Structure 1
């Protein structure tokens, strides 16, 4: 049997690679656009094509994990996304081939996170889940930080070669170190749920408002996060005059995101175990901080034209967003412990819609408004506020499925 700490860190390192691979293209697209002469709309479709693959594999990945096991599915997932990253320089000359490659990257990463949620719901004790999800999100942010610091010093081709190769190395370690003790169909929990119903009708996953509150909160969080992740290097370069060296500043928000994610996880668990707060109160508090805070600061971000001040506001924005890992993201294992992978897959599928929309929609809003980004940020803030209201009023922490 794997120790929870071993399971945690192996999965967190996978998320490190996952997140790093997502950041490479937003950085590389600046020199790639100069080389291949793409227009704003072409850039938008390249950035958003990842989300097309990502949205299509979430539920498939969660269902396949229950049948074939977490080890097999995570192996396939990381191999797929690492291969599609490594091969980008070989087909980048064709924007259509590049878009297909980005779709495949999304397919691989879409299989991965639901698999990790499934593994966590089985192998991490409930009193440690807030910090586990905090570390998971934090390692993802560290991956984005490392990519943001390293990539500006490399040619755009070597950005993809380096991080693709790291993914292949992780697969070898995972296969050797992680031992899956249960069968592919039989469920084995470190802490069995109160009711372990494996025969749940698919309608049950969309018939409960507490589940919809999680889905909507996740959608809202991702709306602003996708805009920042996909467009921040372009915004800093084209609107604020950032040079190649300044692009490393895009690492600062991810450093804050990782630090806050880990601290928030420990604080949430402490409020539950030491202060005797209810799990629901803690989930609502953390989600409120994670949605309202970024909503306010993204408005401040839109009002400044100074590079250091803009980086400060977006850093606070992403830092506060990390509190969601101890909020609605941890809520899956409580409302559906036997089906956390599937509920997360549904949630992440819906939350990937902003990833598809934010590329072409941002390009259209900026182009039609004469280069102004204010409409983009105002919409993002409004979505965050609505998501917070829905989650706080409709969420639950009792088992539903």
Structure 2
């Protein structure tokens, strides 16, 4: 039967979704790099830059639940296609909106809306089509491709005029939409969703209250929030920090690619290591998720403090690379945990998790600008808060997480 044949080829699904995440992640890096010449051209102050950077997170936070519930109702293929089309169109709009900061913020909100639909949809697709023994690798490759997208963008964009940064990846997204429409065939009946591994309990009628009443779910939500707090600071502010504080020239901004290279490499290695612990060494799934999440939160929390203590560019790049590299272990930790504790509703639980985890993206722009301004140019308060949030998230996940089905 054709439907069963399609379900036996998860690698095709992983590849297509990982390429989408490559473009997704690259689009997020464009503005932090482009905002340096754009601020000079349009005379934006630090607070104005903060609002431009954070406006993406407003849209991103607003569409998460729609992505998770929409893919469950209408299918992952249609929702992911709409998602990539919307974020690619909004990327192409930026050069035309830039002279008006209000229009620019609007285009950034649209970008967030599109990308907010995407990841919950991919989690929904993976929960249905990826076998449990391959799940860590699937999420590892997904996150690694995102880091590769950020790496490629960080290397090539500083050598381009800023409008062409947006044109390049905007058109890349349009081409992906055409490929997705032709190549991906969804396995779905008229009455129910298809799983490659049916859940032990098929509880389809779950009230929204249930998504907020279980500590194993809250441990994931809090760990995700903690991870994103430090990651958003690095993603949004690293080029500005290197240029304004460490004195890097425009070509040296390419070094912002190094942390993303480290993130992609560690993500793939950690994913295979996690699956190996489960399959070959018979570790319990919850033990593996806790180990990887601990590394993914405590390690970055420690090294971001080292990063804040140095004023030498190579050392700063080294420490921030260790921080973002170890953060990739979360893909085999709490990010993989959704499909185990809520296989029927992984898209929705991830949507809720990512909605809460987008709050740092909204706060990090204006809060960082305010902290740096009030500290007379010192960034240490920004990084000490990030480290503290990571430590708290790790403790809560270690004490409250689970791997058995909750919903």
**8 A Cα contact 1:67 1:184, kept in partner:** no
| TM-score, structure 1 as length reference | 0.99
Q: 2:334 aligns with which of 316, 320, 328?
A: 328
Distance 1:54 1:181 in 2: 28
Distance 1:68 1:339 in 2: 14
Q: 1:43 aligns with which of 49, 60, 81?
A: 49
| 1:184–1:35 distance in 2 versus 1, CA, 3 Å | farther
Q: 1:256 aligns with which of 258, 262, 269?
A: 262
Q: 1:84 aligns with which of 90, 100, 112?
A: 90
Match of 2:334, SS?
coil
Given the alignment of the two structures, is residue 375 of structure 1 paired with residue 381 of structure 2, yes or no? yes
Cα distance, 1:183 vs. partner? 3.5
1:76-106 CA-partner distances (Å, limit 9, x unpaired): 0000000000110011000000000000000
Distance 1:278 1:256 in 2: 27
Structure 1 counterpart of 2:345: 339
Q: 2:306 aligns with which of 288, 300, 324?
A: 300
Match of 1:165, SS?
helix
Cα distance, 1:186 vs. partner? 1.3
1:274-319 CA-partner distances (Å, limit 9, x unpaired): 0000000000000000000000000000000000000000000000
1:117-138 CA-partner distances (Å, limit 9, x unpaired): 0000000000000010000000
Distance 2:88 2:208 in 1: 32
| TM-score, structure 2 as length reference | 0.98
**8 A Cα contact 1:32 1:156, kept in partner:** yes
| 1:185–1:240 distance in 2 versus 1, CA, 3 Å | farther
Q: How many residues matched?
A: 401
Distance 1:181 1:28 in 2: 41
Distance 1:68 1:150 in 2: 37
Given the alignment of the two structures, is residue 163 of structure 1 paired with residue 169 of structure 2, yes or no? yes
Match of 1:164, SS?
helix
Given the alignment of the two structures, is residue 7 of structure 1 paired with residue 27 of structure 2, yes or no? no
Match of 1:275, SS?
coil
Structure 2 counterpart of 1:19: 25
Structure 1 counterpart of 2:394: 388
Distance 2:71 2:14 in 1: 17
Q: 1:181 aligns with which of 183, 187, 195?
A: 187
Gaps of 5+ in 2: none
Q: 1:201 aligns with which of 191, 194, 207?
A: 207
